[in-house]
């Protein structure tokens, strides 16, 4: 018999006690004060000592003695050659899809003429240099490297660099180096953790300063990005992975259980919630079926301990009276990943109403795993409710917008008196004079 699943919340959402509701809603990363303080020390060491600090970090944290922080291109090519054929084929397929999707969503220049003779334009200018962080501690994530580097390339970024922790041999993992080769990055550095973020934000003798840093990482990496945000743009404040499943009585319990387990295995701090539209009690049995299916899957899961911890701390299967209530909960919760499994004729309206999610997976066959690796949509997404204001990584993150405006002499004459009046009202006489200088003689006489 399967071991019961310990969930932080279950039953009607309205019946949850305050503690359980807080556990579901509060997904902010509560960084240990020691992590904050130590991260600040590491950043200061990089600011002061540059490459020497990074070499010391490699010895201390990675057990690696580095003769050079930069990884030669020949090492990337060798890693790509050594890569198992099926893994290489999967990476290449993912790279093609990421490029295709992000090419389709490239930002475009626009021009507007609000009045005759006035032209206002806005164009996307690619950033000069971008840094991609690729984790390499307990797990290497070549998919995240592709998700960061390829959209930057599509957007036209001039230089893309990668930082990833070295192993004992002084090199990042083979699969990360292979992904760097496939993504067409410019430089790779065997630098990890908070030190890598500081190096890319501030610059060292070897690691150039970048305009934006993207890519996931552990608590030290996330904290370093937050502390350095005044020096460099980042993708978004990041926390543990999360999933919200929004379903109704037509949903498949096995599908929901599989998706919940897939996210829960990421991290003991992952947040995994299923909210069911329980019209007239139609989902009471489904909720129990999801728990039963989840318990059976956990019995055989290699990462069951991690998943159980996540479900006990921030997991839930809750019911609300209607689909409208489920959507309201979803928009307030603002999930990183949202799986929508409602009846076919309700999907379109539900999707249109879901305004706050990193990405929405529509239908049971749209597994979050497909988006993590292969659909081409980006998996670098806002967490902890940040989806209320942040979006997933895209080509928009790798450009800055230049606005330009042109006013013809005739239009300047027509604008002059109104602008002068506005400036007078704000107590800025030089502004008023600069505008009225363009009045025609006739309009000046009228104005006086």
What are the catalytic residues?
A: 336-337
Cα dihedral 232, 188, 161, 152 sign: negative
List of residues 6+ apart from 113 with CB closer than 8 A: 119, 120
User: Is the separation of the CB atoms in 210 and 130 below 8 Å?
Assistant: yes
Mapping DSSP to helix (H, G, I), strand (E, B) and coil, where does residue 274 land? Answer: strand
User: Is the separation of the CB atoms in 136 and 165 below 8 Å?
Assistant: yes
Nearest to 395 by CA among 417, 377, 421: 377
Q: List Cβ<8 Å contacts ≥24 apart for 300-303.
A: 301/261, 301/265, 303/265
Strands 242-247 and 337-341: parallel
How many other CB atoms sit within 10 Å of the CB of residue 88? Answer: 17
Nearest to 372 by CA among 362, 381, 364: 381
List of residues 6+ apart from 420 with CB closer than 8 A: 432, 433, 435, 436, 447
- Residue 106, CB-side half-sphere exposure with 13 Å CA sphere: 18
Mapping DSSP to helix (H, G, I), strand (E, B) and coil, where does residue 40 land? Answer: helix
How many other CB atoms sit within 10 Å of the CB of residue 411? Answer: 17
How many other CB atoms sit within 10 Å of the CB of residue 212? Answer: 22
Nearest to 75 by CA among 3, 162, 201, 149: 162
Strand partners, 214: 132
DSSP letters along 49-115, please? Answer: HTHHHHHHHIIIII----S-SEEPHHHHHHHHHHS-HHHHHHHHHHHHHHHHHHHHT----EEE-SS
User: Is the separation of the CB atoms in 101 and 181 below 8 Å?
Assistant: no
How many other CB atoms sit within 10 Å of the CB of residue 365? Answer: 9
Q: How long a stretch of residues is the chain?
A: 448
User: Is the separation of the CB atoms in 396 and 107 below 8 Å?
Assistant: yes
């Amino acid at each position: 018999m399967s071991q019961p699943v310990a969930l932080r919340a279950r039953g009607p959402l309205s019946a949850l006690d305050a503690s359980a509701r807080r556990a579901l809603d509060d997904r902010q990363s509560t960084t240990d004060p020691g992590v904050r303080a130590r991260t600040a020390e590491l950043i200061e060491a990089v600011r002061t000592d540059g490459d020497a600090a990074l070499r010391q970090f490699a010895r201390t944290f990675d057990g690696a003695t580095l003769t050079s922080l930069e990884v030669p291109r020949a090492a990337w090519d060798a890693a790509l050659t050594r890569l198992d054929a099926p893994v290489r084929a999967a990476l290449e397929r993912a790279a093609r899809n990421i490029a295709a999707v992000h090419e389709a969503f490239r930002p475009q220049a626009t021009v507007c003429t609000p009045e005759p003779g006035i032209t206002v334009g806005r164009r996307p200018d690619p950033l000069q240099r971008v840094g991609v962080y690729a984790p390499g501690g307990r797990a290497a994530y070549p998919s995240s490297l592709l998700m960061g580097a390829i959209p930057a390339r599509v957007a036209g970024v001039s230089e893309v660099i990668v930082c990833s922790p070295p192993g004992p041999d002084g090199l990042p993992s083979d699969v990360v180096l292979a992904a760097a080769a496939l993504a067409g990055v410019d430089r790779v550095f065997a630098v990890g953790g908070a030190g890598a973020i500081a190096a890319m934000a501030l610059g060292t003798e070897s690691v150039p300063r970048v305009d934006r840093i993207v890519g996931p990482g552990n608590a030290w990496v996330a904290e370093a990005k937050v502390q350095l945000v005044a020096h460099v743009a980042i993708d978004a404040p990041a926390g543990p992975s999360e999933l919200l499943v929004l379903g109704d009585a037509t949903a498949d319990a096995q599908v929901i259980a599989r998706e919940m387990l897939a996210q829960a295995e990421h991290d003991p701090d992952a947040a995994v919630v299923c909210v069911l539209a329980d019209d007239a009690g139609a989902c009471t049995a489904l909720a129990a079926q999801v728990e039963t299916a989840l318990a059976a899957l956990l019995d055989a899961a290699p990462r069951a301990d991690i998943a159980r911890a996540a479900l006990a701390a921030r997991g839930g299967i809750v019911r609300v009276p209607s689909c409208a209530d489920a959507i309201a909960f979803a928009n307030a919760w603002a999930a990183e990943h949202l799986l929508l499994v409602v009846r076919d004729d309700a999907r379109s309206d539900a999707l249109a109403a879901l305004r706050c999610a990193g990405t929405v997976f529509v239908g049971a066959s749209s597994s979050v795993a497909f988006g993590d690796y292969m659909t081409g949509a980006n998996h670098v997404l806002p967490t902890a409710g940040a989806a209320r204001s942040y979006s997933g990584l895209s080509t928009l993150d790798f450009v800055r917008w230049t606005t330009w405006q042109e006013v013809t002499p005739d239009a300047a004459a027509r604008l002059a008196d109104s602008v002068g009046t506005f400036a007078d009202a704000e107590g800025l006489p030089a502004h008023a004079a600069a505008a009225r200088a363009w009045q025609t003689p006739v309009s000046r006489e009228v104005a006086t």
